[in-house]
Amino acid sequence: MTDFTAPRLDHPPRPLAQRVGAILWPSFFAAGVATMVFFAFVDPLALRDLTFPQLQISRGLGYTLGFFTFWLATASSSLFTWILLRPASRFNRPLPPR
């Protein structure tokens, strides 16, 4: 008889270092590139004057904030991708024993 159950494309959980690394490293790299390109065209001081002129933000702080903001965005995206790629077996689990 034809087996209609979908083939099980499952993979055992990967080591924690690999999971964390696969999220943080590509996002770090992408954030670095984005920061470089962005600040090649935008001066942090000009950006400050447009947005929060009352705050004392130096160029260095502007670059730092920019990089970490980019990294937060890219890492969130990587984390989302990781969640979506987890196979069904990670979710369809028995209830924890009470």
Partner 1 sequence: MAKTQIPLNVLDTGGSAYVSERKVYPRDVSGPLNRLRVAAVIWLLGMYYVFPWLSWDGRQAVLFDLPARKFFVFGLTFWPQDFVFLAMLLMIAALALFFFTALAGRLWCGYACPQTVWTEVFLWMERAIEGDRHKRMKLDAGPWTRDKLLRKGAKHLVWLLFALWTGFTFVGFFTPIRDLAARAWPFQWGGWETFWVLFYALATWGNAGFLREQVCKYMCPYARFQSAMFDRNTLIIAYDPMRGEPRGPRKRGIASVLERARGLLDARTAYDYVFRAGKHPSAATQAAQAKGTITWDGDLGTVEPLPKFAPEELGDCIDCTICVQVCPTGIDIRNGLQYECIACGACIDACDEVMAKMGYPKGLIRYSTQNAIDGRSSRVLRPRIVLYGLILLGLAGGWAWGVSHRSPLIAEVLRDRNALYQQTGEHLVNGYTLKLVNKTDAAQAYRIRLEADPALRLRLTGEPLELRVPAGAVAAQAIEIDAPADVRGRHPVTLVVEAADGSARARLDSAFFGPIR
Q: Does 14 bind partner 1 (CB under 8 A)?
A: no
Q: SS3 string of the chain?
A: CCCCCCCCCCCCCCCHHHHHHHHHHHHHHHHHHHHHHHHHHCCHHHHHHHHCCCCCCCHHHHHHHHHHHHHHHHHHHHHHHHHHHCCHHHCCCCCCCC
Site string for partner 1, 15-54 (x = CB under 8 A): --------------------------------------xx
Q: Does 55 bind partner 1 (CB under 8 A)?
A: no
Q: Does 86 bind partner 1 (CB under 8 A)?
A: yes
**CB 58 → partner 1: shortest distance, Å?**
16
Binding site for partner 1 (CB under 8 A): 1-10, 53-54, 80, 83-84, 86, 88-89, 91-93, 95, 98
